[in-house]
Amino acid sequence: MLAYAVFCVMRARSNLVTLDVRNADVRTVIGKIEWQTWEDIYVSPDVKGTVTLKVRKVPLEEVLRVIGEQTASRLIAVYPIYSSKSTLKQLKAAVRAGKKAGDSPWKSWQEQPAFRFAGMLGNALRSDNGLVSLQFEGKDAPAAAQSLNRVSSGHVVPEDNTPGVVSLKLSQAMLPDAVEQLARQVKRSWTVFYVLSAAPFMGRPGSVNGTTSLTPDQKAEQARQFEAGLATLSPEEQKQAKQRREMEAIRSLPPKERVQAMQQVMQKNPDMQSQMQKQMQERFTGAMRDSTPDQRVERSRMFNEMRKSLQ
């Protein structure tokens, strides 16, 4: 029994997942993963679907990414920087319910706009190996967190009114190490938990004409965050971010309008067509690898239609 207990502890610390499920409800699968890794993983209320998966000693985040492919959801690793366990509990309660933080000390928590914002600006700056390189001096906690979010796939969230000034110089650092340094400078605690948030789009089950709807408040918050982040980028990074924002807007259009808009963009940017085709092929390869057999048939049809629309 002692040996088995030691084995469970070591497996949890390594965050490696071994699992064999077929057509299992996503929440049942997440429960099994939580038991293995001792990590908190929250599934938003609007995430639905079943999972077919067979893995042995695969890193947690890779497994959650595959589950996201099969359930039209996006994985986010959330790094709260908090003052007490009670305030952390308030944030987790909001995340679990899929709601805003309300009047709690986490007013900055805006799940959908923040995640989409990270995608638009972050893709131009992130390294493929997940390591963080960044240098800044004299920033407050929210500004420091925003800088980390731009160059990583995580979502660093400081509690409201976190005091202190942060100066960091990071070179090829793991994100948890970067968050630990930030938290130490503002004399706060930190942790990590994971969220699967609904993110339907073309090629995933649950998508509706390839669009994701936002409320007017979410759109306003998204625009505010985009403009605030844009001011911190170099001219070349600003150009890339604006191009990504334009593509985000095009993807939200109805199918016929989307095709027309794409053709206009490509006429203005001759190199974009080959770039789009390359990205589509990479997306197609990943989706086919991580999806179920039934999903592969449907996704193959959808990607073929997309490819024809770009020719």
pLDDT in tens, 179-192: 999 999 999 999 99
- The whole-number pLDDT of residue 2 equals 61
Residue 171's pLDDT is 86
* Mean predicted confidence (pLDDT) in 44-63: 92
E-strand spans in the chain?
Answer: 16-25, 41-43, 50-59, 73-82, 132-139, 155-158, 166-173, 189-190, 193-198
pLDDT of residue 7: 46
Contact criterion met (CB below 8 Å) for 206 and 72:
yes
Tell me the backbone φ, ψ of residue 69, rounded to 5 degrees: -60, -40
Task: Kindly calculate the radius of gyration of the chain based on its CA atoms and give it in whole angstroms.
Answer: 20
More confident residue, 119 or 214: 214
Give the chain's mean pLDDT. 77
Q: Which residue has better confidence, 110 or 55?
A: 55
Max mean pLDDT among 120-124, 231-235, 298-302 falls in 298-302
Q: Is 178 exposed, middle or buried (0-12, 13-18, 19+ CB in 10 A)?
A: buried
> Which one of 11-20, 48-57, 97-106 scores highest in mean pLDDT?
48-57
Which range is most confident: 149-158, 188-197, 199-208, 295-304? Answer: 188-197
Check: CB of residue 151 under 8 Å from CB of residue 241: no
**Higher-confidence residue: 311 or 197?**
197
pLDDT tier for residue 23 given thresholds of 50, 70 and 90: very high
At 301, the pLDDT band (50, 70, 90 cuts) reads confident
Q: What is the pLDDT of residue 15?
A: 84
Which of 16-30, 194-208, 293-307 is predicted with the least confidence, judged by mean pLDDT?
Answer: 194-208
What's the pLDDT band for 253 if we cut at 50, 70, 90?
A: confident
Nearest in space to 199 (alpha carbons), one of 119, 90, 254, 278: 119
State percent of the chain over pLDDT 70: 67
Q: Is 292 helix (H, G, I), strand (E, B) or coil?
A: coil
* Segment 79-97, tens digit of pLDDT: 999 999 999 999 998 888 8
- Which of these, 153, 73, 119, 95, lies nearest to 64 by C-alpha position? 73
- Give the separation between CA 106 and CA 161, rounded to whole angstroms: 9
> CA 76 to CA 65: how far, in whole Å?
9
What does the pLDDT look like over 140-196, one tens digit per residue?
999 899 888 877 888 999 999 999 999 988 888 999 999 999 999 999 999 999 999
Domain boundaries, the chain: 1-60, 72-252, 254-311
Look at residue 150 in the predicted model and tell me its pLDDT.
79
Token pair 């099969």: residue = 70
- CB contact set of 54 (below 8 Å; sequence gap of 6+): 19, 20, 21
pLDDT at 202 exceeding the cut of 80 = no
pLDDT band at 286 (very low <50, low <70, confident <90, very high): low
Closest CA to 149 of 229, 235, 63, 248: 229
Q: What is the mean pLDDT of residues 101-111?
A: 71
Coil, strand or helix at 14: helix
β-strand pairing of 155-158 with 73-82: parallel
* Residue 288 scores a pLDDT above 70: no
Q: What pLDDT shows up at residue 243? A: 72
- 133 in Cβ contact with 171 (< 8 Å): yes
> Do 192 and 176 form a contact (C-beta atoms < 8 A)?
yes
